[in-house]
Chains A and B, each alone.
Chain A
Amino acid sequence: MAQTLAASSALPDLMPDRPGLLPMTIFLVLALIPAVAWFGPESYLLGLFTRVMVFAIAAMALDFICGYGGLVSFGHAAFVGIGAYAVGILGAHGITDMLVSLPTALLASAIFAYLTGTVCLRTKSVYFIMITLAFGQMAYFIAGSLAPYGGDDGLTIRLRSTLLGFPFLQNDRTLYYFVLLCLLLSYLVFRAILYSRFGRVFRGARENPTRMATLGFDVFRFQRVGYVIAGAVGGLAGFLLANATEFVSPAYMSWQRSGELIIMVLFGGIGSLHGAIVGAAGYLLIEEILGGITEQWKLIFGPLLVLVVLFARGGLLGLAGTIRGRLSRD
C-alpha cells in the first residue's frame, strides 16, 4: 500500500507576498491576549497561552518534517527536553545569560538531531517512527539518570534567562511577548525555507524520493538538514518552556509527549504551519477546559481524536472550512 500523506491544504509553489489572512489573524489574536488577560486571572492565562505558543513552536517544527517532509517522528519531544535541560543545567551552575543558554540549547538539539538523524533517516515509514521513538526514549532515560540535575524529580529554575545581566524575562508579560516573537520568527523562517529551493527538494522528497534522486539530489542529505533544523527549533521551544514553567524534568521528553505533539500537528491540519499553532492551542485548551469540567474528560477526548482523524481531514481548520463551505452552500 502506498503511504503517501493525505493531501490536506494544497501549497502553491510561488510564495505569496505576505502571509495569508488567517495566519495574520492568529498572530493578532495572540498579541491581544495579554490585554484581555489583564481583566482576569492574569498570570494563569498568560501562563496558559505562553505554553500554547511554546508547544506551537515545537509543533511547527514537527509539522515541517512530518507534514512537509513526510518524516513522522515519534521522538520530537526529545529536542524540546534537550533545549529545556540546557537552560536547567547551565542555570544549576549559575549561568543564566541567554546569550549563552539559547545558543547552547539550539546547538545541543541540533547535534542530537544530526547524530540520530544519520541513523534514523536510513529507514523508512514505520521503521522511522520506531527508531525516532527509540532515540527519544534513550534521551528520556539519560535525563532521568542525571542525579546531580534532579534526575527523575526534575530541576527548579531559579531565575529565568537574563540578557546581559538584565532579568527582563522575569515579568510574565514580557516573557509572553518574547515567546510570541520567537513564534513569529520561527513561522517566517519556516515559510522562507519551504519556498526556497531547499524547501522544494525537501517537499519533493516526501512525494517522490526516487524522482528527486534521479534529478541528482542527495535526498538523505536534504532530509538530514531538514531534520536538524526541526531539531534546533524544537530546542528553542524547550528553552522557552523551561523559562515559562521555571522547571525542567525528563517528563518533557516522554514518548507520550511526542505523541501529543503529533496530535497537535494533526489537529491543525498536516502540512500547515499556522495550522500547527491552531492545533497546539486546540489541544491544550481542550485539555484545560474539559479537564476543568469533569475528571473523566478523557472519555470524551479519546473518541474526539478518532473522529478528527476519520472525518476531519485537514484537522480542525479543515473541518471549519468544510462547515463554512456547507453553510455557504445552503
Chain B
Amino acid sequence: MKTSKLFVTVAAMALFGISGQAQAQEKLRIGVIATLSGPPAVLGQQLRNGVQLAVKDLGGKLGGREVEVIVQDDELKPDVAVSRAKALIERDKVDFVIGPIFSNILQAIFRPVTDAGVILISPNAGTSNFAGKECNANFFVTSYQNDQAFGVAGKYAQDAGLKKIFLIAPNYQAGRDALAGFKSFYKGEVADEVYVPLGQLDYSAELAKIAAASPGAIYVFLPGGMGINFVKQFRQAGLADKTVFLSAFTVDESTLPAQQDAAVGFFGGANWAPNLDNPQNKKFVAGYEKEFGAVPATYAFQSYDAVLLIDGALKLTKGNVADKDALRAALKKADFTSLRGGFKFNTNNYPIQDFYLVKVAKRGDGKFQTEIDKKVFTNFADPHAKDCPMK
C-alpha cells in the first residue's frame, strides 16, 4: 500500500515532467484556457474553434514560426483555472495565453499569468478593473470592456426616443453592470428594474410584471440558458408583438439555435455580426460554418482576432518572443486586419472600435444569426481608460 501510493505520486510527476520536456524548443506555443464543461461549454468551444481555425487559415504558422495550440478546460472553477494556467505556463511553457470566457476566471488567472511575464489575451472577458486601475502591460483584450456592450442598447434607446423601458438581468455582478451600463446612456423613464436569481427557469412572474407595466421597450441581459428560457416564454406570452426587445448577450449565435423563431426581430448590441460586410469576415464566417457546422458568435471571431493579433506582432518582431518589451510594443501596434474592420488599442490595451445595434434574422438556409442594423458607436473607447496609469 505504501508502495502503491509512492508509485502513483512518482508516476504522476513523471507524467507532468516528461510532457514538458518532450516538446521541441523551436515551436511557438499558445495556451488556450476556456470553459469547456457544464452548460456554458458551447461558449468555450466557440473560443477554441476560433483559435484553431485561425491557426489553420494561417497555415499553422504565426509570424513565420510553427505554432502549437494547447487547450485547457477551466471548468468554470477559479482554483482549477489557476492550476491549469500554471500548467500551461510552467509545464507546457506557453508564450501566450488566450482566454478566458468568464470574468471570475479572468480575475483568478490574471495575476499568475501576467506576473510570470506571459502575455494574456482575453477574447471575451473584459472587466472594468483591468481596464482602469489594474491595467497591465502583459494583458490585451480583443473583445471589449463589458460596460461598452451594455451601453449600445442604452444609446440606441435614448436616440430613438424609446419611453418607459423595463430592465431585467440576473442578480450577479455582470447583471448589475449590465443595467448600470444601459442607464449610463439611456436617460428616459425606467418602468422597472428587476434582478432575477441566477439559473431561474420559469419567468411567469416576471412576464406578468412586464405585462402589467406595459413598457415601450424591454432591455434584457440574460445569458445562456436563462436567455433561451426567457425569450421562449416571452414570445409565448404574446409580449413580443408590442414591446421592442433590446438586449446584450441574450440573443446571439450561441443561443439562437435553441431560440429559433422566437427571437426573430429582437435586437442586441455587439461589436460585430456574422454579416458584417468585409472580405476577411465573409471568409471567416464561411470557413467557420464549413468546419464546425454552426454560425460563429462573438466568442469565435474575437479569439480568431487574438491569433491574428499575435501573428501581426510576430511579423514585426520577426518571430522573436524573448524580447518582451519589443513583443509588447508590437502587440500594442495591433498591426493586423481585424475581422471587424478597424482595430486599435487604447492606452489600457482594450480596443477602440465600433458598436452596432444588431437584429436577429432567419437566413435562407434555415439557420439564425444576428445582422447589423445600424452603427451606434464609432471608435468607442471604454470609460475606464483614464484610470489606467499606462500611457
Contacts and interface: CB of A to CB of B under 8 A. Distances in A.
A47 B108 CA distance: 14
Interface residues on B, range: 35 or more
A40 interface: yes
B212 interface: no
B173 A152 contact: yes
A324 interface: yes
Contact of A152 (B6, B87, B104): B104
Nearest to A291: B73
A141 B172 CA distance: 10
A51 B79 contact: yes
Contacts of B76: 251
A209 interface: no
A252 B111 contact: no
B97 interface: no
A47 B82 contact: yes
Interface string A38-61: 011111110110010000000000
Given A51-B79, A145-B171, A298-B37, A43 B90 contact: yes
B210 to A, nearest CB: 24
Contact of B103 (A33, A42, A153, A287): A153
A37 B91 CA distance: 11
A156 B111 contact: yes
Interface string B102-145: 01100110111000000000000001000000000000000000
Interface string B6-21: 1011101101110110
A70 to B, nearest CB: 26
Contacts of B12: 285, 288-289
Interface residues on A, range: 35 or more
Nearest to A247: B108
B176 A147 contact: yes
Contact of A33 (B5, B9, B82): B9
Contacts of A152: 104, 172-174, 198
A36 B111 CA distance: 26
Interface in A130-152: 141, 144-145, 147, 150-152
B83 A249 contact: no
A14 interface: no
Nearest to B14: A40
Contacts of A41: 16-17, 20, 86-87, 90-91
Contacts of B80: 287
Given A45-B13, A245-B79, A153 B104 contact: yes
A44 B107 contact: no
B16 A144 contact: no
A3 interface: no
A137 B15 CA distance: 37
A278 interface: yes
A115 interface: no
A235 interface: no
Interface stretch (A19-27, A93-101, A226-234, A303-311): A19-27
A295 interface: yes
Contacts of A156: 107-108, 110-111
Contacts of B257: none
B2 to A, nearest CB: 4
A11 B75 CA distance: 38
A51 to B, nearest CB: 7
27 contacts: A22-B5, A33-B13, A36-B10, A40-B13, A40-B20, A43-B86, A44-B83, A51-B79, A141-B197, A147-B173, A152-B198, A154-B78, A154-B108, A155-B107, A156-B108, A245-B82, A249-B78, A249-B107, A249-B108, A251-B78, A251-B104, A278-B5, A285-B8, A288-B12, A295-B73, A317-B1, A320-B4
Interface of A: 21-22, 25-26, 29, 33, 36-37, 39-45, 47-48, 51, 141, 144-145, 147, 150-156, 241, 244-247, 249, 251-252, 278, 281, 285, 287-289, 291-292, 295, 298, 317, 320-321, 324
> What 6 pairs across the A-B complex have the smallest Cβ distances?
A41-B90, A152-B172, A40-B17, A41-B91, A151-B173, A44-B90
